[in-house]
Amino acid sequence: MTLAAQAMNVTVIGTGYVGLGTAGLLAHLGHQVTGIDIAPDKIAQLQRGEVPIHEPGLSDLLAENAERLSWTSDYSSVKEADVIFICVGTPPGPDGAPDLRYVISAASSIAHQLGEQCQVIVNKSTVPIGTGDYVERLLEELAPNFSAAQHLVVSNPEFLREGTALHDSLYPDRIVLGGAAKALETMIQLYAPLLEQNFTPPASTPRPEGYTRPATVKTTLQSAEMIKYAANAFLALKISFANEIAGLCERVGADIEEVTTGIGLDERIGHRFLQAGLGWGGSCFGKDTQGLISAGREHNYAMPILQAAIDINYRQRQVIVEKLLRQLKTLKGKRVSLLGMAFKPNTDDLRDAPAHDLIERLHRLGAHVTAHDPVAMPRAEHEWSHLSYTPARDLDHAFARADAVIIVTEWDDYQHLDWNKLLPTMRRRLIIDARNTIRQPLDHMLQATVKQVGRSAPIFIQSVQTVSIVK
């Protein structure tokens, strides 16, 4: 850690994935940070040194910078803050438009505590275009001592990937700042060690070889808000495009892995986010793409490409169910085990996770569903209590007497399975590899029927139709 040239007092509202990452990053850069959350149980956890979410390296980062971090449900720290970050959730409403109730609540609470010095209020949450102006109006109406010259609103969207959030925070491609020039000067000072890359990297997240410094994009509030939405919508579109091409590959005998490798070598396209499989989930892609569509609808502007990206993504979940049905014919009374519940590896986030839809659909078709995840099972116990499934005690339990196993999340644990041990315990050796993870040559012939997305089974897999049941 290298102390910032000008250490600031920072308040971060919200202690979810974005809020905790922001607090840890700024404390590591040398600023004094107060994290606020209205959930007393989360604050109590953080005060005990416990982190309520799973994110690699985050616990260590917060512990290493504990002397510059404090946690509370009291908004009074806002009075002394130089910069106040709003990092609360913006879940989709019934019509797909983002629900701003938490942003409004946070802004209202901030307004009553604003000081008389120059303060920058930062929208870090993903919000609809125009929210920065709306927050400014709220402050103007509710703050007893509001001053347009002293209380400035900035849009500073995050571009973090859960599972690699610390890396993305410390070594970003770009930092986007939207707002008035005076406010952006403050943000440049706040982020100076990050922009110059003169801080000492955490031991768990070393600086990548060849990385120099991030680009800085200074723009208006509206453009910054649009950049966030457009970036996520484009990445969602790439994934859905790969899945749509994968469906045709299966029908014409092409291999989606070879196709995406070939087109990704075009530097205008690139390889990232062209992985075919079960599709995207999580809190960002679906919500932000739908948010852009809603914005278009407000302005009588149709966005059919984005709607197609959403439709294709959710269709992909049914594609996996249909692969299973083609093999088993009926799911009534069949035992199907899911490997992976979190929407992606290295996180316990279950929001819009494909596994949720699979459990629901398989149960509706009469299957007995068992589910396993290396990290997310305790969270699922609370958040998915409405679903009918059996939590697997371990991988042995997941495979035992299963008629099929579906690889849902590409955890490392599932890419290094002891197939010789696990396959003989299944009732039928059927693997639906919904993430195309089985690709490296093994030192033995894999005795199983394996179905992947957009490609035939790897040549080292021997398809089998019947096996003896191991009791």
Provide the annotated binding site for NAD(+). 37, 42, 90, 126, 162, 287, 351
Distance CA 140, CA 354 (A): 42
Task: Let me know: does 376 contact 350? Beta carbons within 8 Å.
Answer: yes
Binding residues: 37, 42, 90, 126, 159-162, 228, 273-277, 281, 287, 344, 351
Residues 6+ apart with CB under 8 A from 339: 372, 373, 395, 398, 405, 406, 407, 408, 409, 411, 414
Catalytic residue, chosen from 87, 118, 249, 284, is: 284
Helix axes 221-252, 256-264, angle to 10 degrees: 140
Is 284 a catalytic site residue? yes
Tokens of 222: 């509206």
Q: Interior CA angle at 168 toward 65 and 227, to 5°?
A: 125
Rg (CA), the chain: 24
Q: For residue 396, what are the CA distances in angstroms to 95, 149, 406, 429, 468?
A: 43, 63, 15, 14, 17
Tokens of 345: 């590896």
Task: Let me know: does 115 contact 121? Beta carbons within 8 Å.
Answer: no
Binding residues for substrate: 159-162, 228, 273-277, 281, 344
Tokens of 205: 């997240």
Distance CA 228, CA 216 (A): 14
Side-chain-side CA neighbours of residue 256 (13 Å): 26
Classify the phi-psi angles of 260: left when phi > 0, otherwise alpha if psi is within -120 to 50, otherwise beta. alpha
Helix axes 285-298, 221-252, angle to 10 degrees: 120
Q: Could you give the residue numbers annotated as active site?
A: 284
